[in-house]
Amino acid sequence: MWERKDFLDVDSLSKEDIEMILDYSEVLETHSGRGSKLDICRGEILVTAFFEPSTRTEKSFEAAMYVLGGDVLLHHEAGSSRDKGESKLDTLRTLEQYSDIIAIREPEAGMMQRYADELDIPVINAGDGHNQHPTQAILDLFTIKKEIGCLDDLKVIFFGDLKYGRTVHSLIKALRLFGRNQFFGVAPRGLELPQSFAGNDYEEIDMEDVIKIKPDFIYATRIQKERMSLDDRDKYSYEINAAFLCKLPKHTKIMHPLPRVNEINIEVDKDPRFIPFKQVRNGLHTRMALIALLLNHEDELQKISK
């Protein structure tokens, strides 16, 4: 049974929590689609409060609530009362009066627990600075499970900014709950995976080792150039292109949380091993499951599961 009021991070989730979300995501994927609106959240309102822009995540939550039959209020920073000096917490408390659940994107790491404590309605962390992006981790897990059928005995190589890449941190933590997996990292100097995330199952490698490893997944991330020294920008830029894919095994899937900039050449978009837009789609169903669980609709979810 689902017993959490909020969804703030991946760390505090049990394996059972995650399995429940993934199972219901699959059920919801089967039972939704064109023309089949559900009534699970009819009469309920989701607020998305984004203190930092994000197309992908905001629209994903919005669509998820529509398919569940609910309504959505979008709050953006621009054009709001915060111009008049209101605190974020007052803005959130105001939005709470109109809604049943809230998804918050917040640039400052570590504010989510405070918001969850202060608000009576369920709070979903839709990304808090470089700290966590737990709904991304869930959709990544769902993607991996759908592609390969399981969440253990995997070889996953992470590319890019592994120091600040919160999606990488969350995903590694979550995968560790599901058994033995092998993780590898290819990162520019200074942007390596922090020691706190790097366990026995983690190894730093060079670009040339990637092929030898025959990974199940390459999880590429955007490198924020402003975080690298000028010298390193050229040295550590990487591009996943057709030539690179040519050398990869047929079963290796390329994941990326998007947006991409120059890390992935669009020439690989038609390759079936390139699956970032499948990840996006999976985000819809995992967020549906999450919203439904947090609003205590487990009974309805079980009903449609049969």
Q: Which residues bind its own copies (CB under 8 A)?
A: 34-37, 42-45, 47, 50, 53-56, 59-60, 62-63, 66-67, 71, 73, 75-76, 78-87, 89-91, 93-100, 222, 258-261, 266, 277, 280-281, 283-284
For its own copies, which is the closer residue by CB, 213 or 258?
A: 258
The least CB distance from residue 257 to its own copies, in Å, is 11
Q: Give me the catalytic one of 5, 37, 48, 56.
A: 56
Determine if residue 136 is left, alpha or beta; phi over 0 gives left, psi from -120 to 50 gives alpha, anything else beta: alpha
Q: Give the nearest distance from C-beta 54 to its own copies in angstroms.
A: 6
Q: Which is nearer to its own copies, 13 or 103 (CB)?
A: 103
Shortest distance (Å) from residue 140 CB to its own copies: 15
Marked catalytic residue, from 48, 57, 143, 286: 57
Q: Is 48 a catalytic residue?
A: no
Length of the chain: 306
Distance CA 95, CA 93 (A): 5
The kind and range of the H/E element at 219 are: strand 217-220
84 catalytic per annotation: yes
Nearer to its own copies (CB atom), residue 82 or residue 176: 82
Choosing from 84, 247, 250, 270, the catalytic residue is 84
Known active-site residue 105: yes
How is the beta sheet containing 155-159 ordered, strand by strand? 202-204, 182-186, 155-159, 217-220, 253-255
Nearest-approach distance from CB 45 to its own copies, in angstroms:
6
Whether 167 is catalytic: no
Nearer to its own copies, 194 or 259 (CB): 259
Taking the CA of residue 209 as centre, how many other CA atoms within 13 Å lie in the half-sphere pointing to its CB?
A: 13
In the complex, minimum distance from the CB of residue 156 to its own copies, in angstroms, rounded to a whole number: 23
CA distance 270 to 242: 10
- Whose structure tokens read 């990869």? 248
Which entry of 75, 133, 169, 287 is annotated as an active-site residue? 133
In terms of Cβ atoms closer than 10 Å to its own Cβ (0-12, 13-18, 19+), residue 157 is buried
Q: 183 with 158: CB under 8 angstroms?
A: yes
Q: Which residues are catalytic?
A: 56-57, 84, 105, 133
